[in-house]
Amino acid sequence: MAPAGDRSALGGCLAIRDNTLTIVTGASSSHFRCLGNLLRSIDHHETAPVVVYDLGLAPEEAALLRADGRQVVRFPFEYYPPYFGTHAKSGRPCSWKPVLIREVIEAVDGPVLWLDAGDLVHERLTRVRSVLAATGFYSPDGADVIQRYTHPQVLALLEAQPEILADRNRNGAIVGFGRNEIGMELSRIWRECALREEIMHPAGWTKRIWRSDQAILSVLVAQFRRRHGFALEDALLGVSYHNDSLNADQAQRYMKSPPVRGGALAVRAQDDRRIANRVRHIADRLRREAKRTWRRFKRALAQR
Protein backbone atom coordinates (compact mmCIF):
# COMPACT_ATOMS: atom_id res chain seq x y z
CA MET A 1 0.00 0.00 0.00
CA ALA A 2 1.39 3.39 -1.01
CA PRO A 3 2.06 5.96 1.72
CA ALA A 4 -0.72 8.55 1.93
CA GLY A 5 0.42 12.14 1.65
CA ASP A 6 3.78 11.69 3.37
CA ARG A 7 4.80 15.31 3.97
CA SER A 8 8.29 14.27 5.03
CA ALA A 9 9.06 13.45 1.38
CA LEU A 10 8.91 17.17 0.63
CA GLY A 11 11.65 17.91 3.14
CA GLY A 12 12.76 21.55 3.07
CA CYS A 13 10.02 22.40 0.57
CA LEU A 14 7.56 22.55 3.45
CA ALA A 15 9.12 25.89 4.29
CA ILE A 16 7.50 27.16 1.10
CA ARG A 17 3.97 28.14 2.11
CA ASP A 18 2.44 30.57 -0.36
CA ASN A 19 -1.27 31.27 -0.51
CA THR A 20 -1.23 32.57 -4.10
CA LEU A 21 0.28 29.69 -6.11
CA THR A 22 2.82 26.87 -5.92
CA ILE A 23 4.18 25.52 -9.21
CA VAL A 24 5.11 21.83 -9.40
CA THR A 25 7.04 20.10 -12.15
CA GLY A 26 9.33 17.12 -12.56
CA ALA A 27 11.48 15.19 -14.99
CA SER A 28 13.73 12.23 -15.58
CA SER A 29 17.02 12.54 -17.47
CA SER A 30 15.26 12.32 -20.83
CA HIS A 31 13.59 15.69 -20.14
CA PHE A 32 16.35 17.44 -18.22
CA ARG A 33 17.15 19.90 -21.01
CA CYS A 34 13.57 21.06 -21.51
CA LEU A 35 13.09 21.21 -17.72
CA GLY A 36 15.82 23.86 -17.72
CA ASN A 37 13.92 25.84 -20.35
CA LEU A 38 10.73 25.69 -18.25
CA LEU A 39 12.52 26.81 -15.08
CA ARG A 40 14.13 29.75 -16.88
CA SER A 41 10.74 30.81 -18.24
CA ILE A 42 9.26 30.68 -14.71
CA ASP A 43 12.18 32.73 -13.39
CA HIS A 44 11.58 35.31 -16.11
CA HIS A 45 7.84 35.78 -15.51
CA GLU A 46 6.94 34.44 -12.06
CA THR A 47 7.63 34.76 -8.35
CA ALA A 48 5.69 31.65 -7.29
CA PRO A 49 7.68 28.97 -5.44
CA VAL A 50 8.58 25.94 -7.55
CA VAL A 51 8.90 22.33 -6.42
CA VAL A 52 10.87 20.10 -8.83
CA TYR A 53 10.35 16.35 -8.56
CA ASP A 54 13.25 14.09 -9.41
CA LEU A 55 11.52 11.40 -11.50
CA GLY A 56 14.71 9.65 -12.54
CA LEU A 57 17.37 12.32 -12.88
CA ALA A 58 21.05 11.44 -12.81
CA PRO A 59 22.69 12.42 -9.49
CA GLU A 60 24.72 15.14 -11.19
CA GLU A 61 21.55 16.59 -12.79
CA ALA A 62 19.75 16.79 -9.44
CA ALA A 63 22.90 18.31 -7.92
CA LEU A 64 22.98 21.00 -10.62
CA LEU A 65 19.38 21.93 -9.87
CA ARG A 66 20.07 22.17 -6.14
CA ALA A 67 23.20 24.23 -6.79
CA ASP A 68 20.97 26.59 -8.77
CA GLY A 69 18.78 27.04 -5.69
CA ARG A 70 15.96 24.73 -6.82
CA GLN A 71 13.79 22.81 -4.35
CA VAL A 72 14.26 19.22 -5.56
CA VAL A 73 12.28 16.27 -4.17
CA ARG A 74 12.91 12.69 -5.25
CA PHE A 75 9.71 10.78 -5.92
CA PRO A 76 9.93 7.48 -3.95
CA PHE A 77 8.95 5.01 -6.66
CA GLU A 78 10.01 2.14 -4.38
CA TYR A 79 7.09 2.88 -2.03
CA TYR A 80 4.51 2.39 -4.77
CA PRO A 81 3.18 -0.62 -6.73
CA PRO A 82 5.37 -2.05 -9.53
CA TYR A 83 3.21 -0.53 -12.27
CA PHE A 84 4.49 2.90 -11.20
CA GLY A 85 7.87 1.86 -12.60
CA THR A 86 11.23 3.09 -11.33
CA HIS A 87 11.29 6.43 -13.19
CA ALA A 88 9.18 8.56 -15.49
CA LYS A 89 9.30 7.18 -19.01
CA SER A 90 7.73 8.45 -22.24
CA GLY A 91 4.94 6.23 -23.49
CA ARG A 92 4.11 4.79 -20.05
CA PRO A 93 1.16 5.88 -17.90
CA CYS A 94 2.13 8.68 -15.51
CA SER A 95 0.81 6.96 -12.38
CA TRP A 96 3.05 9.17 -10.24
CA LYS A 97 1.58 12.49 -11.43
CA PRO A 98 -1.75 12.56 -9.52
CA VAL A 99 0.03 11.25 -6.43
CA LEU A 100 2.79 13.85 -6.25
CA ILE A 101 0.40 16.71 -7.10
CA ARG A 102 -1.85 15.70 -4.23
CA GLU A 103 1.20 15.41 -1.98
CA VAL A 104 2.07 19.04 -2.63
CA ILE A 105 -1.56 20.14 -2.22
CA GLU A 106 -1.53 18.61 1.27
CA ALA A 107 1.78 20.30 2.11
CA VAL A 108 1.01 23.92 1.15
CA ASP A 109 -1.75 26.41 1.89
CA GLY A 110 -2.64 27.72 -1.56
CA PRO A 111 -3.47 26.58 -5.10
CA VAL A 112 -1.11 24.20 -6.92
CA LEU A 113 -0.27 24.19 -10.63
CA TRP A 114 1.40 21.23 -12.32
CA LEU A 115 3.47 22.01 -15.43
CA ASP A 116 5.11 19.31 -17.56
CA ALA A 117 8.84 19.72 -18.12
CA GLY A 118 8.12 20.50 -21.79
CA ASP A 119 5.95 23.52 -20.92
CA LEU A 120 6.95 27.19 -21.02
CA VAL A 121 5.55 30.12 -19.03
CA HIS A 122 4.90 33.27 -21.11
CA GLU A 123 3.53 35.75 -18.55
CA ARG A 124 2.84 36.18 -14.87
CA LEU A 125 0.12 33.63 -14.13
CA THR A 126 -2.43 36.10 -12.79
CA ARG A 127 -5.22 34.64 -14.94
CA VAL A 128 -4.46 31.11 -13.74
CA ARG A 129 -4.65 32.31 -10.13
CA SER A 130 -8.03 33.93 -10.86
CA VAL A 131 -9.49 30.76 -12.40
CA LEU A 132 -8.28 28.59 -9.53
CA ALA A 133 -9.76 31.02 -7.01
CA ALA A 134 -13.08 31.13 -8.87
CA THR A 135 -13.65 27.47 -9.82
CA GLY A 136 -10.94 25.44 -8.10
CA PHE A 137 -9.67 23.82 -11.30
CA TYR A 138 -7.74 24.77 -14.43
CA SER A 139 -6.57 22.67 -17.36
CA PRO A 140 -7.01 23.83 -20.96
CA ASP A 141 -8.73 21.54 -23.40
CA GLY A 142 -6.64 18.79 -24.94
CA ALA A 143 -6.69 16.54 -27.96
CA ASP A 144 -10.00 15.05 -29.14
CA VAL A 145 -12.83 13.81 -26.90
CA ILE A 146 -13.07 11.51 -23.88
CA GLN A 147 -14.30 8.49 -25.85
CA ARG A 148 -11.29 8.64 -28.21
CA TYR A 149 -8.57 8.28 -25.58
CA THR A 150 -10.23 6.52 -22.63
CA HIS A 151 -10.00 2.74 -22.34
CA PRO A 152 -13.47 1.07 -22.26
CA GLN A 153 -12.57 -0.75 -19.03
CA VAL A 154 -11.84 2.57 -17.32
CA LEU A 155 -15.05 4.15 -18.59
CA ALA A 156 -16.91 1.27 -16.96
CA LEU A 157 -14.96 1.43 -13.69
CA LEU A 158 -15.49 5.19 -13.41
CA GLU A 159 -19.17 4.80 -14.31
CA ALA A 160 -18.80 7.31 -17.13
CA GLN A 161 -22.19 8.46 -18.35
CA PRO A 162 -22.80 8.35 -22.13
CA GLU A 163 -23.37 12.11 -22.28
CA ILE A 164 -19.79 12.91 -21.19
CA LEU A 165 -18.10 10.87 -23.93
CA ALA A 166 -18.20 13.77 -26.38
CA ASP A 167 -16.62 16.22 -23.90
CA ARG A 168 -13.16 17.50 -24.80
CA ASN A 169 -10.23 15.94 -22.97
CA ARG A 170 -8.35 18.14 -20.55
CA ASN A 171 -4.63 18.83 -21.06
CA GLY A 172 -2.51 16.69 -18.74
CA ALA A 173 0.52 18.94 -19.29
CA ILE A 174 -1.11 21.88 -17.45
CA VAL A 175 -3.24 21.02 -14.39
CA GLY A 176 -4.13 23.31 -11.50
CA PHE A 177 -6.19 22.82 -8.35
CA GLY A 178 -7.60 25.44 -5.98
CA ARG A 179 -8.48 25.10 -2.32
CA ASN A 180 -12.27 24.90 -2.62
CA GLU A 181 -14.34 21.70 -2.50
CA ILE A 182 -13.99 21.07 -6.23
CA GLY A 183 -10.20 21.36 -6.27
CA MET A 184 -9.64 19.35 -3.11
CA GLU A 185 -12.08 16.54 -3.97
CA LEU A 186 -11.05 16.29 -7.62
CA SER A 187 -7.35 16.01 -6.75
CA ARG A 188 -8.08 13.46 -4.02
CA ILE A 189 -10.13 11.17 -6.28
CA TRP A 190 -7.62 11.52 -9.13
CA ARG A 191 -4.90 10.30 -6.76
CA GLU A 192 -7.07 7.37 -5.61
CA CYS A 193 -7.58 6.34 -9.22
CA ALA A 194 -3.82 6.38 -9.84
CA LEU A 195 -3.40 3.91 -6.97
CA ARG A 196 -5.76 1.39 -8.61
CA GLU A 197 -3.90 -0.69 -11.19
CA GLU A 198 -7.08 -1.75 -12.98
CA ILE A 199 -7.79 1.92 -13.68
CA MET A 200 -4.29 3.20 -14.39
CA HIS A 201 -3.13 0.10 -16.31
CA PRO A 202 -6.24 -1.44 -17.95
CA ALA A 203 -5.83 -4.75 -19.74
CA GLY A 204 -4.38 -4.47 -23.23
CA TRP A 205 -3.82 -0.72 -23.06
CA THR A 206 -1.95 1.09 -25.82
CA LYS A 207 -1.31 4.81 -26.15
CA ARG A 208 -3.55 4.80 -29.22
CA ILE A 209 -6.65 4.28 -27.05
CA TRP A 210 -5.45 5.22 -23.55
CA ARG A 211 -3.99 8.48 -22.22
CA SER A 212 -3.85 7.32 -18.57
CA ASP A 213 -3.77 10.19 -16.05
CA GLN A 214 -5.07 12.68 -18.61
CA ALA A 215 -8.01 10.47 -19.60
CA ILE A 216 -8.95 9.74 -15.97
CA LEU A 217 -8.82 13.44 -15.13
CA SER A 218 -10.99 14.26 -18.15
CA VAL A 219 -13.69 11.82 -17.06
CA LEU A 220 -13.62 13.07 -13.46
CA VAL A 221 -13.79 16.71 -14.55
CA ALA A 222 -16.75 16.01 -16.85
CA GLN A 223 -18.59 14.30 -13.98
CA PHE A 224 -17.71 17.04 -11.47
CA ARG A 225 -18.79 19.76 -13.90
CA ARG A 226 -22.25 18.26 -14.24
CA ARG A 227 -22.52 17.70 -10.51
CA HIS A 228 -21.28 21.12 -9.41
CA GLY A 229 -22.14 23.25 -12.45
CA PHE A 230 -18.82 25.09 -12.86
CA ALA A 231 -17.46 26.50 -16.13
CA LEU A 232 -14.22 25.25 -17.68
CA GLU A 233 -11.52 27.50 -19.04
CA ASP A 234 -10.24 26.02 -22.33
CA ALA A 235 -7.68 28.67 -23.30
CA LEU A 236 -3.93 28.70 -22.73
CA LEU A 237 -3.52 31.21 -19.92
CA GLY A 238 0.11 32.17 -20.27
CA VAL A 239 1.49 28.62 -20.57
CA SER A 240 2.40 26.59 -23.66
CA TYR A 241 3.09 22.86 -23.89
CA HIS A 242 4.95 20.32 -26.06
CA ASN A 243 8.08 22.47 -26.30
CA ASP A 244 10.39 19.54 -25.57
CA SER A 245 12.30 19.88 -28.85
CA LEU A 246 13.23 23.56 -28.46
CA ASN A 247 16.80 24.47 -27.64
CA ALA A 248 17.59 27.14 -25.04
CA ASP A 249 17.73 29.99 -27.56
CA GLN A 250 14.42 29.00 -29.19
CA ALA A 251 12.72 28.65 -25.79
CA GLN A 252 14.10 32.03 -24.70
CA ARG A 253 12.55 33.72 -27.75
CA TYR A 254 9.23 31.86 -27.61
CA MET A 255 8.59 32.48 -23.90
CA LYS A 256 8.59 36.25 -24.59
CA SER A 257 5.67 35.97 -27.02
CA PRO A 258 2.08 34.82 -26.40
CA PRO A 259 1.55 31.04 -26.24
CA VAL A 260 -0.24 29.40 -29.16
CA ARG A 261 -1.08 25.79 -29.89
CA GLY A 262 1.67 24.38 -32.07
CA GLY A 263 3.90 27.33 -31.21
CA ALA A 264 7.04 25.22 -30.83
CA LEU A 265 6.62 23.92 -34.38
CA ALA A 266 6.30 27.49 -35.63
CA VAL A 267 9.47 28.52 -33.79
CA ARG A 268 11.42 25.63 -35.27
CA ALA A 269 9.98 26.27 -38.74
CA GLN A 270 11.06 29.91 -38.48
CA ASP A 271 14.58 28.85 -37.61
CA ASP A 272 14.59 26.27 -40.41
CA ARG A 273 13.60 28.98 -42.90
CA ARG A 274 16.31 31.27 -41.60
CA ILE A 275 18.92 28.50 -41.94
CA ALA A 276 17.65 27.62 -45.43
CA ASN A 277 17.88 31.27 -46.49
CA ARG A 278 21.41 31.48 -45.12
CA VAL A 279 22.42 28.31 -46.98
CA ARG A 280 20.90 29.68 -50.20
CA HIS A 281 22.77 32.95 -49.71
CA ILE A 282 26.07 31.13 -49.20
CA ALA A 283 25.38 28.86 -52.18
CA ASP A 284 24.60 31.86 -54.41
CA ARG A 285 27.79 33.60 -53.29
CA LEU A 286 29.85 30.47 -54.00
CA ARG A 287 28.27 30.15 -57.46
CA ARG A 288 29.08 33.78 -58.26
CA GLU A 289 32.62 33.34 -57.00
CA ALA A 290 32.98 30.14 -59.08
CA LYS A 291 31.81 31.99 -62.22
CA ARG A 292 34.30 34.82 -61.60
CA THR A 293 37.09 32.31 -61.05
CA TRP A 294 36.16 30.48 -64.26
CA ARG A 295 36.16 33.74 -66.25
CA ARG A 296 39.59 34.68 -64.87
CA PHE A 297 40.86 31.22 -65.72
CA LYS A 298 39.57 31.49 -69.31
CA ARG A 299 41.15 34.93 -69.74
CA ALA A 300 44.45 33.60 -68.45
CA LEU A 301 44.32 30.75 -70.95
CA ALA A 302 43.50 33.14 -73.80
CA GLN A 303 46.55 35.31 -73.02
CA ARG A 304 48.99 32.44 -73.33
Position 8 scores a pLDDT of: 47
Position 52 scores a pLDDT of: 97
pTM for the model = 0.85
R_g of the chain computed on alpha carbons: 24
Do residues 171 and 144 make contact, with C-beta atoms less than 8 angstroms apart? no
Q: In a structure prediction context, what are the per-residue pLDDT tens digits for the chain, which is 304 residues long?
A: 444 444 445 655 555 555 689 999 999 999 999 999 999 999 999 999 999 999 999 999 999 999 999 999 999 999 999 999 999 987 788 999 999 999 999 999 899 999 999 999 999 999 999 999 999 999 999 889 999 989 999 999 999 999 999 999 999 999 999 999 999 999 999 999 999 999 999 888 887 778 899 999 999 999 999 999 989 999 999 999 999 999 999 999 999 999 987 777 667 666 666 766 677 778 778 888 888 888 887 787 777 6
CA–CA gap between residue 161 and residue 225 (Å, rounded): 13
CA distances from 15 to 6, 18, 67, 236 (A): 15, 9, 18, 30
DSSP string computed for the chain: ---SS-GGGGGGGGG---SS-EEEEEE-GGGHHHHHHHHHHHHHH--S-EEEEESS--HHHHHHHHHTT-EEEE--GGGS-GGG-SS--TTS--THHHHHHHHHHHHSSS-EEEE-TT-EE-S--HHHHHHHHHTSEE--EEEEEHHHHS-HHHHHHTT--GGGTTSEEE-TTEEEE-SSHHHHHHHHHHHHHHT-HHHHS-TT--TTT--HHHHHHHHHHHHHHHHH-PPPP-S--SEE---TT--HHHHHHHTTS---TTHHHHHHHHHHHHHHHHHHHHHHHHHHHHHHHHHHHHHHHHT-
CA–CA gap between residue 289 and residue 64 (Å, rounded): 49
Position 267 scores a pLDDT of: 74
